């Protein structure tokens, strides 16, 4: 928007507003309430509800303020008898076919239609014609639908198109028979539920939570998602110690994601109160024997005595400590402290899918935030698939292209769905993504790079030209395909491409909610595979907090250990060979912080008391340390741990929980930016690796199905029955009238098993 200011008069008061500003936004920013249904900032205009009417001097009739751009000298009236009468009539029309069943509607109590109807008061129902009744139904395992409540504002269809790029839901039929739905009646989409979130009425509803609670019964707690590295802010709705639902609605939260969540964040929470959560500490007194329930005191004492014994005989380095990138900064910090200050072992690691250590060691510029991505002018994505693995980033990329005219350059072995939005797709052979980094560093190796990647040299020149000619921000994003040397070069690209008209920002795409925090807490001392390989040889005891991620890192060596201590939510392949198991509390039961891929450190807040006898991971580590004679002094709260983090870890210096209170203004940690480096060694290493690649590998031709990563069953999503249906191909049920979960049979051990499509 222009920086030039113009004068607008609203209800007799003068305002200076930026030229090009939209009237509805200007009115609202200046506290003149304008009712609306279809207007939604940052979505294409719909202008169908006509609730936002205003009178503008010299215009013949009332105008929709959502479609008006302010002009100099404009004189506007937002409140008058005439306007109120028109708005009241619009509402009366919207309610003409409405079932008026608020007492049984899941949205009742937080419905925009209900709220505006109350606001306008004494609305008379003058339409006495029979209503055009339509039955309630399901559109998918996640999305329930009551078509008669629809006011046709089309927020749902626009978010599906513009945020998700899926166009899965549309208005069908004509006139009074128009309904929102999908071809064939069954949604085969990414099941994000954003159409539910933005629906201002009870038309689209959370199918997993339907009829379970009324909104006013829920205690809302603002917290951070525990799945991917995007770190969406969300509101956890709990009742009586049970986590009932998760939403991102603006009225509770105003985080970096607005009203966006993906399927995992929104629907992936039923693991929290799942019946299979570990109930008590468990001890296996004899190898090969059973895990026996124990008290906390017994289990901590047993673990400490066994640990002491192994370390006394085998030495400190015979113990390896491994943390999951799903844990909080506080838990990971305590784990490292346990390794280095209690046991004094050099063997500690984080079990991540890939390490970003080389990237952060060479960081030559700022991390791009999600806001930066939305407003970037060129985005270069090397490897990765954000739509499936970091869906908020995927949405920001799509909106930057669609609403901001950004260019996307995709360098990928797979024609991922974002290819449709890309201005340039460099389709490379599998395993050659690091070669692209060589081309970004300069043109000296273009012939070699093009040959190995299976592309034309011109494509590489075009890539560099687009970046150089960009006026505005350039963002480099990358996935786990890059080698350590390539990561180091990407980290220095801001020095290579920084120009007059552009900032060059970086956005790594790690897989887990606290992959970056785990690096910051310096837990990634060793490679977890090296430690696992040493299990039973130089490593005789292991202390693992959280699952080993990803599962393929697990190996038989764990059973060769003299002592394995695990803290977990569920019994897993790891706990199956553990000697001591501590029940850990989930993200919904604890206070703490995660650091996302923007470098934002964001709060987790306790929504419910720890389930069963579970305890926060940081507290379990502290209690074990105390039993071994070292008092961390943290037993009072997670904020005490965070204070020590802020005192000892430079990037977190001076931070405190009270400074992280406002999720609408997240705090970016101060990752050290290093000076421009000579990259000759890394470039030579990449060149050698590229020379070793074949010239003729086959390319992947097919675009993967929506949900191929999102719907995969993991330890957590496995506990959500609806995910089983999706993982089985989302079979279209014979009837849409009842919950599609009827397709899941319950076997004699009361295990739910999905019917395979």
Residues at the interface with ligand SF4 (CB under 6 A): 143, 150-156, 159-160, 164, 166, 168-169, 180, 187, 189-195, 199-201, 203-204, 225, 227-228, 230-232, 257, 261-262, 264-265, 391-392
Catalogue the E-assigned strands of 453-612. 474-478, 504-508, 541-545, 563-568, 580-583, 592-595, 600-604
DSSP one-letter string for 451-479? HHHTS-HHHHHHHHHHHHH-SS-EEEEE-
Pick what 51 binds: ligand SF4, ligand FES, none; C-beta below 5 to 8 Å, kind-dependent.
Answer: ligand FES
Minimum separation from the CB atom of position 171 to ligand FES (A): 15
Closer CB to ligand SF4, residue 151 or residue 641?
151
Asked if 504 contacts 470 with a C-beta cutoff of 8 angstroms, the reply is no
Q: Which residues are CB-neighbours of 591 under 8 A, at least 6 positions away?
A: 603, 604, 605, 606, 616, 637, 638, 639
Minimum separation from the CB atom of position 192 to ligand SF4 (A): 4
Pick what 193 binds: ligand FES, ligand SF4, none; C-beta below 5 to 8 Å, kind-dependent.
Answer: ligand SF4
The three-class DSSP label of residue 104 is helix
Pick what 230 binds: ligand SF4, ligand FES, none; C-beta below 5 to 8 Å, kind-dependent.
Answer: ligand SF4
Pick what 159 binds: ligand FES, ligand SF4, none; C-beta below 5 to 8 Å, kind-dependent.
Answer: ligand SF4
Closer CB to ligand FES, residue 47 or residue 309?
47
493-521 burial, b for 16+ CB within 10 Å, e for fewer? bbebbeeeebbbbbbbbbbbbbbbbbbbb
Closer CB to ligand SF4, residue 263 or residue 401?
263
By CB atoms closer than 10 A (0-12, 13-18, 19+), residue 695 is exposed
Closer CB to ligand FES, residue 403 or residue 527?
403
Element (H or E) spanning 16, and its range? strand 13-18
Stretch that binds ligand FES, among 50-58, 184-192, 324-332, 715-723 (CB under 6 A): 50-58
Residue at token pair 């139904």 = 137
Position among 15, 37, 360, 723 found at the interface with ligand FES (CB under 6 A): 37
Element (H or E) spanning 223, and its range? strand 219-224
| Closest residue to ligand SF4 in the complex (CB) | 265
Position among 5, 41, 44, 47 found at the interface with ligand FES (CB under 6 A): 47
Minimum separation from the CB atom of position 649 to ligand FES (A): 47
Minimum separation from the CB atom of position 333 to ligand SF4 (A): 22
Question: Does 56 contact ligand FES by CB under 6 A?
Answer: no
Report residue 361: phi and psi, to 5°: -70, -20
The three-class DSSP label of residue 176 is helix
Q: Which two tokens stand for residue 319?
A: 């113990």
Position among 10, 21, 27, 38 found at the interface with ligand FES (CB under 6 A): 38
Stretch that binds ligand FES, among 49-57, 170-178, 501-509, 651-659 (CB under 6 A): 49-57
Minimum separation from the CB atom of position 475 to ligand SF4 (A): 17
Torsional sign, CA 611, 614, 619, 621: negative
The three-class DSSP label of residue 233 is strand
Length of the chain: 757
**d(C-alpha 375, C-alpha 460), whole Å:** 25
**d(C-alpha 337, C-alpha 343), whole Å:** 9
Closer CB to ligand FES, residue 25 or residue 308?
25
Give residue 258's region: left, alpha or beta (phi > 0; psi -120 to 50): left
Taking alpha carbons only, the member of 92, 91, 87, 41 closest to residue 63 is 87
Asked if 617 contacts 634 with a C-beta cutoff of 8 angstroms, the reply is no
User: H-type helices in 575-704, by residue range?
Assistant: 617-627, 638-648, 680-691
Report residue 692: phi and psi, to 5°: -80, -5
Minimum separation from the CB atom of position 40 to ligand FES (A): 8
**d(C-alpha 561, C-alpha 563), whole Å:** 5
Closer CB to ligand SF4, residue 259 or residue 459?
259
Pick what 49 binds: ligand FES, ligand SF4, none; C-beta below 5 to 8 Å, kind-dependent.
Answer: ligand FES
Pick what 50 binds: ligand FES, ligand SF4, none; C-beta below 5 to 8 Å, kind-dependent.
Answer: ligand FES
Binding mask 62-91 for ligand FES (x = CB under 6 A): --x-x-------------------------
**d(C-alpha 202, C-alpha 149), whole Å:** 6
Beta bridge partners of 526: 349
Beta bridge partners of 541: 319, 563
Pick what 264 binds: ligand SF4, ligand FES, none; C-beta below 5 to 8 Å, kind-dependent.
Answer: ligand SF4
Closer CB to ligand SF4, residue 190 or residue 345?
190
**d(C-alpha 373, C-alpha 408), whole Å:** 11
Minimum separation from the CB atom of position 404 to ligand FES (A): 22
Q: Interhelix angle for 446-453 vs 457-469, to 10°?
A: 110
Minimum separation from the CB atom of position 391 to ligand SF4 (A): 4
The three-class DSSP label of residue 501 is coil
How many CA within 13 A on the CB side of residue 41?
Answer: 11
Position among 51, 418, 436, 482 found at the interface with ligand FES (CB under 6 A): 51
Pick what 717 binds: ligand SF4, ligand FES, none; C-beta below 5 to 8 Å, kind-dependent.
Answer: none
Stretch that binds ligand FES, among 34-42, 568-576, 602-610, 679-687 (CB under 6 A): 34-42
Closer CB to ligand FES, residue 115 or residue 691?
115
Stretch that binds ligand FES, among 44-52, 622-630, 653-661, 688-696 (CB under 6 A): 44-52
Pick what 488 binds: ligand FES, ligand SF4, none; C-beta below 5 to 8 Å, kind-dependent.
Answer: none
Minimum separation from the CB atom of position 51 to ligand FES (A): 5
Minimum separation from the CB atom of position 667 to ligand SF4 (A): 17
Position among 15, 32, 39, 209 found at the interface with ligand FES (CB under 6 A): 39
Minimum separation from the CB atom of position 416 to ligand SF4 (A): 16
Minimum separation from the CB atom of position 96 to ligand FES (A): 17
Q: Which two tokens stand for residue 4?
A: 């030039």
Closer CB to ligand SF4, residue 65 or residue 602?
602
Asked if 371 contacts 454 with a C-beta cutoff of 8 angstroms, the reply is no
Stretch that binds ligand FES, among 42-50, 342-350, 426-434, 718-726 (CB under 6 A): 42-50
Q: Which two tokens stand for residue 73?
A: 């000298």
Stretch that binds ligand FES, among 43-51, 105-113, 379-387, 656-664 (CB under 6 A): 43-51
Query: Interface with ligand FES by CB under 6 A: which residues?
Result: 36-39, 47-52, 64, 66
């Amino acid at each position: 928007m222009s920086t030039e200011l113009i004068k607008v008069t609203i209800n007799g008061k003068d305002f200076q507003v930026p030229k090009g500003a939209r009237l509805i936004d200007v009115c609202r920013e200046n506290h003149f309430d304008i009712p609306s249904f279809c207007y939604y900032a940052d979505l294409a205009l719909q202008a169908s509800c006509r609730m936002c009417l205003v009178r503008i001097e010299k215009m013949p009739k009332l105008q929709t303020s959502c479609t008006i751009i302010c002009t100099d000298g404009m004189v506007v009236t937002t409140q008058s008898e005439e306007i109120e009468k028109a708005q009241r009539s619009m509402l009366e029309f919207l309610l003409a076919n409405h079932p008026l069943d608020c007492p049984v509607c899941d949205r009742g109590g937080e419905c925009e239609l209900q709220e505006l109807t109350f606001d306008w008061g004494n609305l008379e129902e003058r339409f006495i014609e029979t209503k055009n009744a339509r039955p309630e139904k399901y559109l998918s395992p996640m999305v329930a639908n009551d078509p008669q409540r629809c006011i046709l504002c089309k927020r749902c269809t626009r978010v599906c198109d513009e945020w998700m790029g899926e166009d899965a839901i549309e208005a069908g039929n004509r006139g009074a028979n128009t309904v929102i739905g999908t071809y064939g009646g069954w949604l085969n989409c990414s099941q994000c539920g954003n159409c539910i979130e933005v629906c201002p009425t009870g038309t689209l509803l959370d199918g997993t939570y339907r009829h379970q609670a009324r909104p006013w019964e829920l205690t809302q707690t603002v917290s951070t998602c525990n799945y991917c590295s995007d770190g969406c802010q969300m509101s956890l709705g709990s009742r009586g110690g049970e986590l009932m639902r998760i939403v991102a609605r603006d009225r509770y939260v105003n985080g970096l994601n607005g009203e966006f969540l993906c399927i995992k964040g929104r629907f992936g929470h039923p693991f929290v109160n799942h019946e299979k959560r570990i109930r008590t500490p468990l001890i296996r007194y004899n190898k090969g024997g059973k895990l026996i329930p124990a008290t906390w005191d017994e289990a901590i004492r047993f673990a400490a005595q066994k640990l002491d014994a192994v370390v006394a005989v085998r030495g400190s380095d015979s113990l390896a400590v491994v943390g999951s990138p799903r844990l909080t900064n506080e838990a990971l910090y305590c784990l490292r402290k346990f390794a280095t200050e209690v046991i004094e072992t050099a063997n500690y690691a984080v079990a991540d899918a890939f390490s970003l250590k080389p990237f952060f060691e060479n960081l030559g510029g700022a991390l791009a935030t999600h806001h930066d991505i939305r407003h970037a002018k060129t985005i270069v994505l090397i490897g990765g698939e954000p739509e499936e693995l970091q869906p908020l980033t995927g949405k920001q990329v799509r909106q930057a292209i669609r609403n901001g005219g950004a260019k996307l350059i995709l360098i990928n072995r797979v024609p991922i769905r974002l290819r449709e939005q890309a201005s340039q797709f460099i389709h490379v052979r599998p395993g050659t993504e690091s070669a692209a980094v060589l081309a970004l560093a300069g043109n000296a190796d273009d012939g070699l790079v093009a040959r190995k990647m299976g592309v034309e040299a011109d494509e590489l020149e075009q890539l560099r030209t687009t970046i150089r000619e960009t006026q505005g921000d350039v963002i480099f994003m990358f996935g786990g395909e890059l080698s350590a040397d390539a990561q180091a070069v990407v980290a220095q690209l801001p020095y290579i491409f920084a120009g007059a008209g552009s900032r060059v920002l970086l956005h790594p795409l790690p897989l887990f909610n606290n992959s970056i925090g785990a690096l910051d807490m310096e837990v990634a001392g060793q490679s977890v595979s090296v430690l696992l390989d040493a299990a039973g040889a130089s490593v005789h005891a292991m202390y693992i907090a959280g699952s080993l991620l990803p599962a393929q890192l697990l190996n038989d060596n764990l059973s060769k250990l003299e002592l394995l201590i695990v803290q977990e939510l569920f019994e897993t392949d790891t706990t199956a060979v553990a000697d001591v198991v501590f029940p850990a509390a989930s993200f919904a039961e604890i206070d703490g912080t995660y650091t996302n891929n923007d470098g934002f450190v964001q709060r987790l807040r306790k929504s419910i008391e720890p389930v069963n006898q579970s305890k926060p991971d940081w507290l379990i580590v502290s209690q074990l340390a105390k039993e071994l004679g070292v008092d961390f002094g943290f037993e009072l709260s997670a904020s005490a741990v965070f204070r020590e983090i802020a005192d000892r870890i430079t990037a977190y210096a001076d931070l405190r929980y009270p400074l992280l209170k406002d999720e609408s203004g997240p705090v970016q940690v101060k990752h050290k930016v290093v000076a421009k480096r000579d990259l000759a060694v890394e470039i030579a290493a990449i060149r050698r690796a590229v020379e070793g690649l074949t010239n003729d590998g086959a390319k992947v031709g097919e675009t993967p199905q929506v949900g191929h990563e999102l719907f995969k069953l993991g330890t957590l999503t496995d506990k959500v029955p609806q995910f089983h249906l999706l993982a089985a191909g989302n079979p279209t049920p014979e009837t849409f009238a009842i919950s599609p979960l009827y397709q899941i049979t319950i076997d004699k051990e009361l295990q739910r098993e999905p019917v395979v499509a």
